[in-house]
A and B are shown apart, each in its own frame.
Chain A
């Protein structure tokens, strides 16, 4: 097999972290290669250097045997390399074809829309895409946008396509279509690299798989000789079975009851469709679903950040047994009712903390109403910050260092620490361990378990099914705003959850 691209000794450093550590990788012409690795293993950084977004600190890139310098995306295009990024780089107000021809010089001063539309259609027919060249991008679904991105590359004559987590946002049907397209490209002689952390996709689609761990390529395996356990072992290093402690839940104290909850977006789209469930004190309820299935709307509705439709009921039972209706109330009203609710939102530095404040300032955000004088009471928040720093081992130069300067794990510890310190009865967490390393993740799991033991009702919205199965007591599965099932984490398996996530098969509620 001919070598299309060779990466030799590529390193890239961002501040203190070594994102890629002398990586060697060979990519063959006309193959589908998977780059497999956990979050933060350096897959995307490596490919960003190939497509000209980053420039390597050291190492050489050879294309067709010749050494090249790729210092901009333009250089990459000239060498026939193009990348579809995870966050699409498309102009929302442009049509598909305007996006496709953006930045091209070859075609003269005036844009010949008719010719472009025709050529786009031709490419689409060749690879079985469905596309409307004149449709504006902001009116498109995610799948359609991805197609525009791919055609954009093909139109530029790219013969090596890099796709970063292409299936993360697609429905199973769209994924199937995408894979067919990618296979057609391979038949057509194109080279395809997909970045992924989904094992089944690697096995289903690719010819070879390169496994990255901590910025290094650990090994390259031919997919025909691989199976899930080989790949997992290579990916995580030593076999890490998830050993998260899990006590039996108590299930007699119903903290929150959600009845006929409906939410509608300002565009009139149904975000939550008639959700009914309860959360008990002393259990961890997992929430699973493809991203954007209504997880955010659900948490926002409970915390009072979003209006629920008429007829929805969210009832919170306080410690003394008194019940409070949360629908129609603002977060402040809910707090003043004595409802002890804590929320660790997905967007840590956007919604959870103020990046410019230090730890003390961020503690203050929960207690700013206390006291009667016009001046802030900083003694207690300062003490709390001190306590969290010690107990959760937050690494920070000082309590006053802006939290945005801390690493992701430390930021999350500050946030979770603050929320737990309010001694909640209901603790809502969204993607609490996203982007964190294994150790910090375990620290967070332990904190959640501790809360569960104290009788707190914990909600864990997650994306990693293994973690959901190992950590939680029950899993509520959302699909397109609908609760498709609530299953017992101890007896169910990934297949069942996967099926619930992708279609509306009714499973008996517990």
Chain B
């Protein structure tokens, strides 16, 4: 039972990171941007939030909780938004090929992130734990977390897990019920139509991409502060989660609310190698880690096949995904 609880909590924490990043990618894709730069954005935002928080904790005798939270959250959001801006300049204004652009941002983010780590701690691969930040981001909900097994399973996570759940619900309402959400969806489906009814296609694309990328940045921050316990290591696997988040978007067929179960499921499958053999008392799994970690991708492929054979257009990617928009084309 204890093994299961540990496995479950790992799945939820991973789910938190995956779902906020995937939610960011969904917003990108709804604006017609196939942003493959998510891994890079997560990596760079993670390291930036670590550096910002570390600087503050080092500079002040008694760090304030609120300042640590704001620094970590805002620095990651801002990093994401800036990369989103960069992406939009190339994808919207210069109409570059989005695949190439996304992949270069993925490479740039990881590379630049590693460079920044070098700057702050020359030569080493692991960096000290930030004690205050770790306490703040892994506190669990007061009182509720002491409810025995239930508390351990559902209420013993850092507050960002619950913030992310709220963001997902808000995102669902945003797309389903609000006018701006409807307008944004139309941009990804058919920018020409959106243009014809008077929507500013470029502005929607810029803003949605910046918001989407900043959410992905938040995912990187959660990895560092919550999952890694406010420590940094250049050997960590943020990028791997970035690619998983992109696959997850397909898995939930572009519906943020399905991330609530889809993302923890991915986390569950990802961590299966560490706990499943133990729970079933099977030995000899040692060499299979990577193969089992493939499960989320396999599931995604299966979902992709099922979705495309069902021919329900609602489950298909936005129709203009990845295509640049020109107005006066004859």
Q: Which of B188-205 contact A (CB under 8 A)?
A: 189-190, 192-199
Interface contact B178-A111, CB-CB below 8 Å: yes
Interface of B (DSSP majority class): helix
- Name the contact of A105 in the complex, choosing from B179, B194, B313, B330 (C-beta under 8 A): B179
Contacts of B311 in A (CB 8 A): 267
- Name the contact of B313 in the complex, choosing from A108, A111, A136 (C-beta under 8 A): A136
Say if the beta carbon of A507 comes within 8 Å of chain B: no
Say if the beta carbon of A98 comes within 8 Å of chain B: yes
Q: How far is the CA of A93 from the CA of B312 in the complex (A)?
A: 9
Interface contact B179-A92, CB-CB below 8 Å: no
Question: How many pairs of A and B residues are in contact by the CB < 8 Å rule?
Answer: 75
Interface contact B193-A91, CB-CB below 8 Å: yes
Q: How far is the CA of A91 from the CA of B313 in the complex (A)?
A: 11
Q: How far is the CA of A462 from the CA of B330 in the complex (A)?
A: 23
- Encode A96-117 as 1/0 by CB contact (under 8 A) with B: 0010011111011111000000
Q: How far is the CA of A89 from the CA of B191 in the complex (A)?
A: 10
Interface contact A109-B189, CB-CB below 8 Å: no
**Most chain-A CB neighbours within 10 Å: which of B177, B179, B189, B313?**
B179
Say if the beta carbon of A94 comes within 8 Å of chain B: yes
Interface contact A89-B314, CB-CB below 8 Å: no
**Most chain-B CB neighbours within 10 Å: which of A73, A90, A93, A104?**
A93
Q: How far is the CA of A89 from the CA of B179 in the complex (A)?
A: 18
Interface contact A74-B198, CB-CB below 8 Å: yes
Q: How far is the CA of A54 from the CA of B180 in the complex (A)?
A: 26
Say if the beta carbon of B144 comes within 8 Å of chain A: no
Interface contact B328-A102, CB-CB below 8 Å: no
Interface contact A111-B182, CB-CB below 8 Å: yes
Q: How far is the CA of A85 from the CA of B198 in the complex (A)?
A: 15
Interface contact A72-B198, CB-CB below 8 Å: yes
Q: How far is the CA of A110 from the CA of B182 in the complex (A)?
A: 10
Total count of chain B residues near the partner, CB < 8 A: 25
Say if the beta carbon of B33 comes within 8 Å of chain A: no
A90 nearest in chain B by CB position: B193
Interface contact B182-A98, CB-CB below 8 Å: yes
Given A14-B330, A92-B189, A73 contacting B179 (CB threshold 8 A): no
Interface contact A89-B198, CB-CB below 8 Å: no
Say if the beta carbon of A138 comes within 8 Å of chain B: yes
Contacts of A63 in B (CB 8 A): none
Q: Which of B160-194 contact A (CB under 8 A)?
A: 177-180, 182-183, 185-186, 189-190, 192-194
Contacts of B190 in A (CB 8 A): 89-92
Contacts of B328 in A (CB 8 A): 53-54
Interface contact A73-B196, CB-CB below 8 Å: yes
Interface contact A102-B177, CB-CB below 8 Å: no
- Name the contact of A73 in the complex, choosing from B177, B180, B182, B197 (C-beta under 8 A): B197
Interface contact B178-A102, CB-CB below 8 Å: no
Instruction: Give the Cβ gap from B198 to chain A, nearest Cβ, in Å.
Output: 3
Contacts of B86 in A (CB 8 A): none
Say if the beta carbon of B292 comes within 8 Å of chain A: no
Say if the beta carbon of B96 comes within 8 Å of chain A: no
Q: Which of A234-280 contact B (CB under 8 A)?
A: 267
Say if the beta carbon of A77 comes within 8 Å of chain B: yes
Contacts of A152 in B (CB 8 A): 197
Say if the beta carbon of B103 comes within 8 Å of chain A: no
Q: How far is the CA of A53 from the CA of B326 in the complex (A)?
A: 12
Given A110-B177, A111-B182, A136-B313, A102 contacting B193 (CB threshold 8 A): yes
Q: How far is the CA of A101 from the CA of B194 in the complex (A)?
A: 11
Say if the beta carbon of B274 comes within 8 Å of chain A: no
Q: How far is the CA of A102 from the CA of B177 in the complex (A)?
A: 12
Say if the beta carbon of B319 comes within 8 Å of chain A: yes
Q: How far is the CA of A440 from the CA of B197 in the complex (A)?
A: 38
Given A102-B182, A105-B179, A89 contacting B196 (CB threshold 8 A): yes
Contacts of B193 in A (CB 8 A): 89-91, 102
Given A104-B179, A111-B177, A111-B178, A73 contacting B195 (CB threshold 8 A): yes
Q: Which of A315-338 contact B (CB under 8 A)?
A: none
Given A14-B330, A109-B180, A91 contacting B197 (CB threshold 8 A): no
**Most chain-B CB neighbours within 10 Å: which of A54, A85, A91, A110?**
A91
Q: How far is the CA of A189 from the CA of B132 in the complex (A)?
A: 71
Q: Which of A200-252 contact B (CB under 8 A)?
A: none
Q: How far is the CA of A152 from the CA of B192 in the complex (A)?
A: 16
- Name the contact of A110 in the complex, choosing from B179, B197, B199, B314 (C-beta under 8 A): B179
Given A92-B189, A93-B189, A109 contacting B178 (CB threshold 8 A): yes
Q: Which of A47-80 contact B (CB under 8 A)?
A: 53-54, 72-74, 77
Interface contact A108-B179, CB-CB below 8 Å: yes
Instruction: Give the Cβ gap from A43 to chain B, nearest Cβ, in Å.
Output: 14
Interface contact B179-A107, CB-CB below 8 Å: yes
Q: How far is the CA of A74 from the CA of B195 in the complex (A)?
A: 9
Q: How far is the CA of A14 from the CA of B329 in the complex (A)?
A: 10
Q: How far is the CA of A92 from the CA of B314 in the complex (A)?
A: 9
Given A53-B196, A77-B198, A103-B198, A93 contacting B314 (CB threshold 8 A): yes
Interface contact A103-B183, CB-CB below 8 Å: yes
List 8 A-B pairs, minimum CB-CB distance, nearest first.
Answer: A74-B198, A103-B197, A89-B193, A89-B196, A91-B189, A103-B199, A93-B313, A73-B196
**Knowing that A73-B198, A102-B186 are A-B contacts, what are 7 other residue pairs whose CB atoms are under 8 Å apart, sorted by A's residue number?**
A73-B195, A85-B196, A92-B190, A94-B186, A103-B194, A104-B179, A138-B313
What are 28 pairs between A and B in contact, CB < 8 Å?
Answer: A14-B330, A72-B198, A73-B195, A73-B196, A73-B197, A74-B197, A77-B197, A77-B198, A89-B192, A89-B193, A89-B197, A90-B193, A91-B189, A92-B319, A93-B316, A94-B182, A94-B189, A98-B182, A101-B179, A101-B182, A102-B186, A102-B194, A103-B197, A103-B198, A104-B179, A109-B178, A111-B177, A136-B313
